[in-house]
Structure 1
Amino acid sequence: MNGLKVLVVDDDPNVREIIRLYFEKQQIQLAEAEDGLQALDMVEKVSPDIIILDVMMPGMDGYDTCRELMKHYDIPVIMLTAKGDEFDRVLGLELGADDYVTKPFSPRELMARIKAIFRRMQARRPAVPDDQSQAIEFDGLTIRPERREVLVHNEKIGLRPKEFELLVHLAKSPGVVYTREQLLEQVWGYDFLGDIRTVDVHVKRTRSKLSDFGCDCIHTVWGVGYKFEVVV
């Protein structure tokens, strides 16, 4: 974890101090922001690897900040929320957050979430093996794993890393139905600490982006899970 840069955004100085003290022991570089506007300014200055973003803040709250971050950056975001309602957790994921932690939390739990995301980031860096580099092509849809590109009728679609990995996994086995548990295991990995609703949120986001370009290829199999199928 040496060299990892984390930006913590929270208006509560006590929360920032708890995270700072624990992270210092882990030799993690930490930057702090008190609100969303300051966070957006600091992203350019510190180039963080991961952002820990509180939801309830004065002025620009965590949701609005997350929206702005997703427009301009591809940085993993962990939402901090004191709310336990499923709607609030799902909203953060739908906006593009990679994970969430509910307050009160332990610094150790937060570190586990960060390590899980960091391991996935590391796993994406090596070159794609030869057996995975060949383009996956269907009617109007082209997926290029080695370039991490998705094109629909030659128009490039902007997918976040986990959305791309989900699409590739499904597209490699067209017609195969995957349960949500299988997708959590095979796409997110055993170290993922989120809940099964995360799969639904990522499928919804990926499907929406593709459908904007007229591509309907991820289908719900009610009571079971999801499958990939291009209907011509």
Structure 2
Amino acid sequence: MNSIAATPMYPDDDTLIPRFREAGDVTLDLFHRDGRVDDRWLGFHPREFELLWRLAQQPGQRMSRRELLADVWRIDYEPETNSVAVHVARVRSKLGPFGLSSILATHPEGGYYLDAPANPGSFRIKSGTE
């Protein structure tokens, strides 16, 4: 079994991990390990959620395939699969009905980034009265 040393993305013992993280108009919920747009859940699978959660940690910053494999898949080698690209496509397809698939962008130099502003603390659910 390969072990990867904890990276700085893991907080110290006295740091709380936020329950919610914003990815543009998508609210990611760590407790439910899913995302929602307004009041509709997206139905992410665990790796899809982790992929978007990781990219939302640093919006606009490119992450290479290797970095994503290390941070999301927790492996330190390059598998001969297109697993990252497949998960990116799945996330985009779930964001598509909301017109948000473009927030998960492919970087020209390779890798991916979240092309959406960070909106800390803006968790919202639309009610029927809005």
Query: Alpha-carbon deviation of 1:136?
Result: 1.0
Which structure has the highest helix share of the two?
1
- For the pair 1:219 / 2:105, whether they are aligned, the reply is yes
Whether 1:228 aligns to 2:114 is yes
C-alpha change, 1:138 and 1:180, in structure 2 (3 Å) is closer
Q: Of residues 66, 80, 85 in structure 2, which corresponds to 1:195?
A: 80
Change (3 A) 1:152 1:222: same
**CA deviation after TM superposition for structure 1 residue 224, in Å:** 1.8
Contact 1:180 1:196 in 2 (8 A): no
**3-state SS, counterpart of residue 137 of structure 1:** strand
- Change beyond 3 A, Cα 1:138–1:186: closer
Q: Which has the larger radius of gyration?
A: 1
The 1:157–1:134 alpha-carbon spacing in structure 2 relative to 1, beyond 3 Å, is same
- Report how far residue 193 of structure 1 moved: 7.3
**Alpha-carbon distance in 2 for matches of 1:227, 1:151:** 19
Determine what percentage of the aligned residue pairs are the same residue. Answer: 33
Consecutive unaligned residues of structure 1, counting only runs of 5 or more, are: 1-111, 117-128
TM-score (norm 1): 0.40
Where is the strand percentage greater, Structure 1 or Structure 2? 1
Aligned to 1:134: 19
SS of residue paired to 1:178: coil
Q: Aligned to 1:133, what secondary structure does the other structure show?
A: coil
Q: Which has the bigger relative contact order, CA under 8 A and spacing at least 6? A: 2
What is the SS of the residue equivalent to 1:224?
coil
Total equivalences in the alignment: 105
Q: How large is the Cα RMSD of the aligned pairs?
A: 2.5
1:153 aligns with 2:28: no
Question: Following the alignment from structure 2 to structure 1, what is the Cα–Cα distance between the partners of residues 94 and 24?
Answer: 17
Question: Structure 1 residue 201: deviation in Å?
Answer: 1.0
Given the superposition, is the C-alpha separation of residues 183 and 141 from structure 1 closer, same or farther in structure 2, using an over 3 Å criterion? Answer: same
User: How far off its partner does 1:222 sit?
Assistant: 2.1
| Distance apart, 1:147 and its partner CA | 2.0
